Structure 1
Amino acid sequence: MNVTIDRMGQPQVDKPVELKPAYEVIPWTTVTIDVDGGNLNYLELLKEEIIMKNIDESLEQYFTSSSPVTASITEVYYYDKYGAKQTILESNYLRYGISASPESGNFGNLTIKSNIPTNNGIRYIKVTVTNEQGLSKEFTVKQYPLEYIVTVPGWYSYRTDFGSTYEVKGNRKVSDDYFSSKVYYEGDRRNDEGIYTYYWEKNASNPSLGTYQTGKHNNNMYFVRITKTSDKYVLSVPAMDEDGYTESSPENNKLVAPAFMIASQLGTVYPQRFNDAKEHCKQYAEKSLDGQVYEDWRLPTEAELLIIDYYQGDDNSVIDRVLAGDKYWAASGNVMATNEEEDWWGNVTWKNGTIEKADDNEMHYIRCIRTVKANEPIVEDKE
């Protein structure tokens, strides 16, 4: 057997210390225990939280009680595309198939039913269990659809090769010909919150707000979790090439990462050539309002772009518009056309995006994404 010692030992030899336990003898005493059970009142639930992933019925909750129980739904809600809490009224429980019913008797399973959410958001169901003696306990059900999305509000963007951020002044640029670093600002001299470029004034220690980004106010990054594969894509982490770009093979462009984030409109750029687009995502960085910095962005695969486009055009989806241009680069070197149509009133009609051939020298828009790692400390829901 070979033993490898990979660290230095201590210079002194440990000296054993003799232990001298102290103990005492306690005399026996008589204690009377009432075991007739006449006044027992207890209620126990197996779980405080039930997870339902792409299913409409759960039998995971188990109860035991000193008397028969009833179950009531006390609250049902979700969070919309703006991060606002939306409550489902009790009068609509039947419409959504929401119910909670325990087995008869003092113990057994409690059945939770709820139609699978169609808005790509997590549905929260609060259930209260009460026995005949008035003892109550509550638990939470989190119901996930096949694909669910959580908003992660962004604060500011930059490129790692610029050398400056909104908080720390560097000795390099904060913009180039295609991309200007941006910040989400809640109210300013114009009393107009939204996304602005920022720049450094001469001899100034703090950045100043520049141009207001008209029509592109969505500072939300989106955390997308896909729980199962489907006939539209292959669920697997896309490969990266030796230069740190998303691999451009046809096989790779059918893949969708099981969990990925979409950059917000803080990452809006002017149209760029393909090679510039790849490098931009590699250098892109965005910081959330919660203080988390994300730097490992990449160009999306064709399949990932199609998923983003599909759900930003769905009125019931929790994702708001992030692909506001007409064509976006995919890692394959092809582009995805968003195919929306806007009438003279300004109403937008969405159609499914399509993949089109492109030349590397064409100029198109970019929306960077990043693969979320398995051990990454990211909030998956708001609870």
Structure 2
Amino acid sequence: MTRSLFQSLDLGSTTMPNRIAMSPMTRARTTQPGDVPNELMAEYYAQRASAGLIISEATQISQQGQGYSFTPGIFSPAHIEGWKLVTNAVHKKDGRIFLQLWHVGRMSHESFHPDGKPVAPSALSPDAQVWIVDPKTEKGNMVDCPLPRALEKSEIAHIVNDFRQAAANAIAAGFDGVEIHGANGYLIDQFLRRSSNHRTDEYGGSQENRIRFLVEVAEAVAAEIGAERTGIRLSPYITQRNMADDEIIDVILKSAKELNRIGLTYIHLSEADWDDAPTVPDQFRHDLRALYSGKIIVAGKYTKERGDQIIVEGLADIIAYGRPFIANPDLPHRFYNDLPLADFDGGTLFGGTDKGYSDYPSWKQAS
């Protein structure tokens, strides 16, 4: 067994002491009203600062971009000040943290939109649900997404600018960089796929047109904060939420070529983590390497051993872990010393208090 996971790595302007990243995970613990990051979140992230890189939970770039209750924003002064609590706490523990920039598109709820309609490339239902807190009962439940409205062409440039401004706000809040969320059926992903994009203007139709929005967002963010501080998440083999499209692999590879031109520091592949998830072919990984010279992060159902192996094979540079980091705040320590992992409580993922959030002990504390 090699120790590839514990080698240092230069990621743009950030030096990682190991190749273990904390994957972005929605936890819905913000202060209300306003969806403002808080001290509890600062404690949670600081506990996990031994990761080579923390990628924050998805964070809406605008009110229009929100799709779930209690998720954080990065578009108001209060958001910036709240996130400073988090970045300061992580940096005091010698950690590194990127903010994930998020616009959910049609994966939203009427309560977040004045006209009750989320926006999307086209007025097509995702046939999916989002987690919404009922203001009367103060309890959260998964509820159906309404039919969205198609974005006017003039609105697209405003959303590109929202991504740019959100990136600037993230740096003002002390983040080391940002990750653009272009995966998992959210707005950028919706533009990429024929199953969710039926537009007839220059943002729809051909593959080149469907990647246009992604490219414009990447260019705007990189121009604002530097390509060396900008990554992106993509999900070529995830098809839930009415997103199946047999052209998506070609589209992702064309996108990778453009992202290489722009100089983004990494591509983060979101791979499914359920038992019967589709296998990502090695050929795709080799094709991606041939087109993209930046770093590659992979996240899915990776064990320590499988993560180490894919780094040795040269098919990835960094392994991102999600659920294992929830219950094991000192995950790199446990991996390095071959210690058993604690299980997480799935019932406490969204919303709540410190229970199932910041109360998981480190190995030292548990011992």
- Report TM bin, short chain: under 0.3
**Structure with more contact order per residue of length (Cα contacts < 8 Å, sep ≥ 6):** 2
Q: TM-score, normalised by structure 1?
A: 0.25
As a proportion of its length, which structure holds more strand? 1
Q: TM-score, normalised by structure 2?
A: 0.26
As a proportion of its length, which structure holds more helix? 2
Larger Rg: 1
